Amino acid sequence: MELKSKGVEVGRCKVRRLMREQGLRAISPKRFVPQTTDSRHDKLVSPNLLKEEGRSIFSWGRVIVGDITYLPLRNGKWCYLAMFQDKVTRRIVGWKISARMTADLVTEALRSGLRRGLIKRGAIVHTDRGSQYVSGEYRRLLAQTGLRQSMSGRGNCYDNAQAESFFSRFKTEMVEGGVFETAVEARSESFSYIEGYYNRIRLHSSLDYKSPMEYERELKLNERRSGRESFVSTFS
């Protein structure tokens, strides 16, 4: 589909044959199984607002999902990637990498999406029940910016499967079983992948083979057209 979008008419069989002739091997994510999160804390959890919205979400910036994953380093240690993703467009709207998995990690990742204007006021922000998401720092940011907190049900890892699915593809397409030399390299490589490739170029079958940013632009254009049509009909 990506080749066809560039004007190259080619089928799967030809691509497969050319790859075989050149000794190229396709990589793809392993069978994806969402993992539950250790939520052993005594903090009050938030309800699952996604069940209230159902399938009525069509606009960008209204529902955001978030999660954290581990990234391996050469020295045997880990760094951590927190990200927030638009549920409709699949665009990664905010992210941050840190050597520590703290409340500041998720708070700064969310702030980056807010600074870019990619999260609408009143939006649902859905995560698992991890301790970072019940911290006072994170919840104050939600309250200050008019966002609604939502959490997966106890033991229901599929509630946040979209965020975990992104991490599965991230690790397959970029890390591919390897490690980062340092946390600094992890940040640099992640920036190239997320901002340079995933958001701008990577095609998604669920988005009618468009990239997240291309799909987002179409939604915004349709919103503007609908607004103009409503304005005209009001005064006609």
Residue 34's pLDDT is: 44
Q: How many CB atoms lie within 10 A of CB 64?
A: 26
Q: From CA 44, how far away is CA 119, in angstroms rounded?
A: 24
Lookup result for tokens 């992948």: 193
Q: Give CA separation, 136 vs 62, 79, 122, 128, 141, in Å.
A: 23, 23, 19, 16, 9
What residues does each domain of the chain span?
32-202
Which CATH number among 1.10.10.10, 3.30.420.10, 2.70.98.30, 3.40.50.740 corresponds to the domain 32-202? Answer: 3.30.420.10
97: three-class secondary structure by DSSP: strand
Burial of residue 100, with CB atoms counted within 10 A of its CB: 0-12 exposed, 13-18 middle, 19 or more buried: exposed
Widest distance between CA atoms in the chain: 69
61 membership: H or E segment, kind and range: none
Residue 232's pLDDT is: 46
- Cβ proximity of 148 and 142 under 8 Å: yes
Lookup result for tokens 């799909």: 215
| Token code pair at residue 230 | 């409503």
Residue 159's pLDDT is: 67
Reference 68, options 170, 192, 189; nearest CA is 170
Residue 50's pLDDT is: 85
**What separation, in Å, do the N-terminal and C-terminal C-alpha atoms of the chain show?**
43
Q: What are the DSSP E strand ranges found in 114-199?
A: 124-127, 148-151
Reference 120, options 141, 100, 140, 146; nearest CA is 146
Residue 55's pLDDT is: 54
Tens-level pLDDT at each residue, the chain (236 residues)? 888 888 888 888 998 999 999 999 887 766 654 454 555 666 788 999 987 665 556 789 999 999 999 999 999 999 999 999 999 999 999 999 999 999 999 999 999 999 999 999 999 999 999 999 999 999 999 999 999 999 987 755 566 788 888 998 998 888 877 889 999 999 999 999 999 999 999 999 999 999 999 999 999 998 888 775 544 444 44
